Each structure stands twice: as C-alpha cells, then as structure tokens.
Amino acid sequence: MMAEGKPKLLVIEDDEGLQAQLKWAYENFEVVSATDRAGALAALRADTPAVVTLDLGLPPDPDGTSEGFAVLDAIMALKPDTKVIVASGHGAQESALEAIRRGAYDFYRKPVDIDTLGLIVERAWRLHGIESENRRLAEKAGEDKTVLGRMITAAPEMMKVARTIERVANADVSVMLLGASGTGKELLARGVHESSGRRDGAFVAINCAAIPENLLESELFGHEKGAFTGAVRTTEGKIELANGGTLFLDEVGDIPLPLQVKLLRFLQERTIERIGGRKAIAVDTRIVCATHQNLEAMIGAGTFREDLFYRLAEIVVKIPTLAERPGDAVLLAKHFLARFAREMNPKVKGFAPDALAAIDGWSWPGNVRELENRVKRAVIMAEGKLVGAEDLDLAGGDAEAGEALNLKAAREQADRRMIRQALARCEGNISNTAKLLGISRPTLYDLLKQYDMQP
C-alpha cells in the first residue's frame, strides 16, 4: 500500500528521540509529527488525522500540563471528532482524567509501551471510522426528512401540510396559516415564498400584533413626506417593499377594523395609496397570513371583516401541534442539538437515553419554539458530551403516568398537571403563568379552553 493510502496519525511530542521512535512504530499509519501548538494545528488542518497522540508537557510549559490542555482544547474546537490520546507523566492520574473530561478519547502513561499504545491507536481509529459512518447515515436520514427546504419532519400530518404548500405555492392564491404559537408558521410562510415563482423577489414579514395601532397603517402602506408630523421623508410600506415577492402578515387578527378596510381594498384592486399620497400605485404582492386567533369567532363578534377573511383565506392550512406529530420532537431535538453544538459547544455529541425518553414524553405546549429553546439552553449548559433530561429541565416529567394510558391521554394529563401547578404558583395570573410555562398567552387560553380548565 502506498503511504498516501494509509490513515494519518498525528504525533504531538516535543522529545525528538521519542518522536522518531514513534514515527516508525505504526506500520498501518502514515505518521505526521508536530512539536508545539502551532505545528499541531497546522497539521490538523492540512492532514485531518483521525487519531492524535498528545504529550501534555509541551513548551513553553514542558513540565506542566497547561500547554497540552490548550492544544487539546484547540483540537476539540477545530475538529471535535478527532480521537486524541493523551500521554501523561507518571502518577498524573488527575491530568489524565481532566483530559478525558475535556474531550480526549483515552490516555496512556509514560514511559511509552509501543505495543500498548499501538492497540489504543488502532481502537481509536476503528471507533472514528464507525462514528463517521454513523454520522454520514444520520445526515443522510436527516436530509430525507427535510421538506420545503428547511422544514424537518417525519410525521405524515406535517408532510401533508408541506405537500399542500408546495402545490399552492405557484398558484398565487392567498394562503392563511393557522397554528398555535411555535408550530412553524413563519417557516411555512417562507416555504410558500421559496417554492413559488416569486422566490427571487423579497420576502417581507410584518407582525401586526407587535406594532402599535397608530403606526401600523404607515408600516403597511407607507407615507409621503410631510403626511404627518415626523414624516420627514417619503417611505415605502411593507406591501410596496414586497412588490414582486411575498408579504407575510403575521397575527393578521390584530389588524384594527379601519385598516382591514384598506387592506381589503388593496386585495381587490391591487393598488395602494401611501398616507398623504394622491396617486394609486400598482403593487404585485402575494399575501400569506397567519394567526393563532379564532377568526371565525371574531367575524361573529364583528371584530374581523368576513369579506377580508375570504380574500385572505383562499387556501387555509392548519398546522398540527408538535404533540400531534409523533416522532418529530426527537427528530427535531437531534437536529437542533447538532446545530447548536456546532455553533456553541462542540463537545456536546448527543442526548443521553433519559433525555430522549423525556423529549418523547413531554407535551410541548410551546411547540417547536419551546423545543428549540430548551435544546439550546441545554447545549450551552451541558458539562459532558451528552445532554441529559436534567439539562433540558425535563427530569422527572411524566414518569408516574400509568402504562394503560395512550400517548395522547398521557400528554393531556401532563399538560393539565403543568398548567395547574403553574396557575397555582402564579395565583391565577395568566400572563405570569404563560411566561412560566414558556408559551404565549393566547396558547395558554387555547389550552385552558381545550381542557375545559378555569384560571
């Protein structure tokens, strides 16, 4: 076999005699060596060795361990899948354990026994191979579960939603997305845009609930210079900015009645007038809207115009809650863990079994957003390689639910228990209870109604 074909082993060792000895000790490997941090990191980048042996006593601290640990940390940050085997001086049990804690694969004691070290290196190499194969398969599986570009799901209910979106994307009809908070409304709205012929135009989002009533009109329709005090220059509204693209009207139920009339006129005539403007401007914008409110009830109560509703709701898509998508919580959790670990804490490699059970058993009242937040916090806080149920703040969650219950009943039971506890703790204050549960106020109202509970 040619040297190039052999796997690479990086030996980081400042004792040149020992280095030469190690260089010839592994016939199955092509050995690359380095004597200090800079050389080690250069070799890591250039040769991407699967296995590294690292002497902890490196210059400028050859009798201590500080430089060795610094190199170890740098390797773990740069290529966390590298198997690092650490050499510790005699009696240095403690530094060996510290190295493992920091992500090293194994350690050996000096003086070096070439045969023993050879076995450790071989085993590390094999493990690295298995892990990268697993990762490859997992990534491939992950790819297959991606729909509409960024949606991750394996649940038939959600696949159906994605199919619907893909089918209607090109039809230029208005789409209304109905779903509880955190179910992915904005992501799906982007999905509509990106699957449509408008994908090269702008995607403009506006949250109608977040903007004070008196500013919303100008935000949507724009204004001419001097139209009102403070209008120092002519400004285009979001509808105009989305010309040729898609406008996402989030929380459309929060648009006040007078503006509903103006929005309806735009949808009928496809022209707008800026505040203080004299001329009608033609705008080609596709509207996607979302709300967690019950618009039909609002129509009944006279707070939402029925004619506007029908204009906005040419296609209505109901988004299932996370609890209604079996298997998705774990699938999404793994996806978020991989992403946050990469971005913020590369030591973290996966979930402990108790975490997976807890994720599966939790009812996720705040849906994907809650899941994303919990995993993010857990990855940041995690001390070891595996995130546990406790890191997710889900320890002891639904453990006592009886076996005879089905999943849905167990979830409902857990919901009720959590809501009851939170309400009690907040003395019935809805805002605080929602905050404590990590869900929005409207979602809490919905749950209270769904479970027929009184605040």
Ligand X SMILES: Nc1ncnc2c1ncn2[C@@H]1O[C@H](COP(=O)(O)OP(=O)(O)OP(=O)(O)O)[C@@H](O)[C@H]1O
Distances, alpha carbon 17 to alpha carbons 23, 28, 52, 81, 415, in Å:
10, 21, 18, 29, 66
d(CA 151, CA 159): 9
Paired strand residues for 82: none
Shortest spacing between CB 368 and ligand X, in angstroms: 4
CB of 342 to ligand X, least distance (A): 15
Of these, 124, 368, 414, 423, which contacts ligand X (CB under 6 A)?
Answer: 368
- Of the residues 53, 65, 88, 181, which one makes contact with ligand X according to CB under 6 A: 181
Q: Which does 430 bind (CB under 5 to 8 A by kind): Mg ion, ligand X, none?
A: none
* Integer angstrom CA distances of residue 77 from 44, 72, 103, 105, 343: 12, 9, 10, 14, 10
Choose the binding region for Mg ion from 132-140, 142-150, 185-193, 364-372 (rule: CB under 5 A): 185-193
Residue 420 touches which of ligand X, Mg ion, none (CB < 5 to 8 A by kind)?
Answer: none
User: Min. distance of Cβ 385 from ligand X in angstroms?
Assistant: 24
Give the x-and-dash track for 138-177 against Mg ion (CB under 5 A). ----------------------------------------
User: Please, which residue, 82 or 440, has the CB nearer to ligand X?
Assistant: 440
Would you count residue 365 as binding ligand X (CB under 6 A)? Answer: no
**Please, what sign has the CA dihedral across residues 265, 267, 271, 272?**
positive
Contact 298, 253 (CB under 8 A): yes
**What is the C-alpha to C-alpha distance for residues 119 and 127, in angstroms, rounded to an integer?**
12
Does 183 sit near ligand X (CB under 6 A)? Answer: yes
What is the residue-wise DSSP string for 44-110?
Answer: HHHH--SEEEEES--TT-TTSSHHHHHHHHHHHHH-TT-EEEEEE-TT-HHHHHHHHHTT--EEEES
Q: Which stretch binds Mg ion (CB under 5 A): 6-14, 72-80, 180-188, 381-389?
A: 180-188
What residue type is assigned to position 203 of the chain?
A: F
**374 contributes a contact to ligand X by CB under 6 A:** no
- Site residue total, Mg ion (CB under 5 A): 1
Q: Is 184 in the site for ligand X (CB under 6 A)?
A: yes
Question: From the list 131, 186, 219, 324, which residue makes contact with Mg ion (rule: CB under 5 A)?
Answer: 186
CA dist 314 → 13, 177, 240, 244, 288 (Å) = 69, 11, 21, 20, 10
Of the two residues 234 and 373, which places its CB atom closer to ligand X in the complex?
373
Residue 403 is encoded by which pair of tokens? 């076996």
Strand spans (E) along 192-343: 203-207, 222-223, 235-236, 246-250, 271-272, 281-282, 286-291, 315-318
Q: Which is nearer to Mg ion, 14 or 186 (CB)?
A: 186
Taking CB within 5 to 8 Å according to partner kind, which of ligand X, Mg ion, none is near residue 147? none
- Closest approach of Mg ion to the CB of residue 445, in Å: 17
CA distances from 338 to 140, 155, 330, 331 (A): 14, 20, 12, 11
Contact pattern for ligand X over residues 318 through 357, marking x by CB under 6 A: --------------x-------------------------
**Nearest Cα residue to 70 out of 98, 108, 97:** 98
Is residue 44 involved in binding ligand X (CB under 6 A)? no
Among 185, 223, 238, 349, binds ligand X (CB under 6 A): 185
Question: CA–CA separation, 172 vs 373, rounded Å?
Answer: 34
Which range of residues in 27-35, 182-190, 193-201, 403-411 is near ligand X by CB under 6 A?
Answer: 182-190
Contact mark string toward ligand X, 145..164, x via CB under 6 A: -----xxxx-----------
Q: Tell whether omega for the bond before 320 is within 30 degrees of 0, i.e. cis.
A: no
Name the segment binding ligand X (CB under 6 A); options: 255-263, 293-301, 365-373, 425-433: 365-373
Cβ-proximal residue to ligand X, closest one:
184
Within 10 angstroms of residue 210's Cβ, the number of other Cβ atoms is 10
Q: Are 438 and 366 in contact (CB under 8 A)?
A: yes
Nearest Cα residue to 51 out of 79, 83, 3, 19: 83
Q: According to CB under 6 A, which one of 154, 187, 259, 298 is a site residue for ligand X?
A: 187
Q: CB count, 10 Å around CB of 157?
A: 15
Q: Compare residues 120 and 205 and give the one whose CB is closer to ligand X.
A: 205
**Site of interaction with ligand X (CB under 6 A):** 150-153, 179, 181-187, 332, 368-369, 372
**Site of interaction with Mg ion (CB under 5 A):** 186
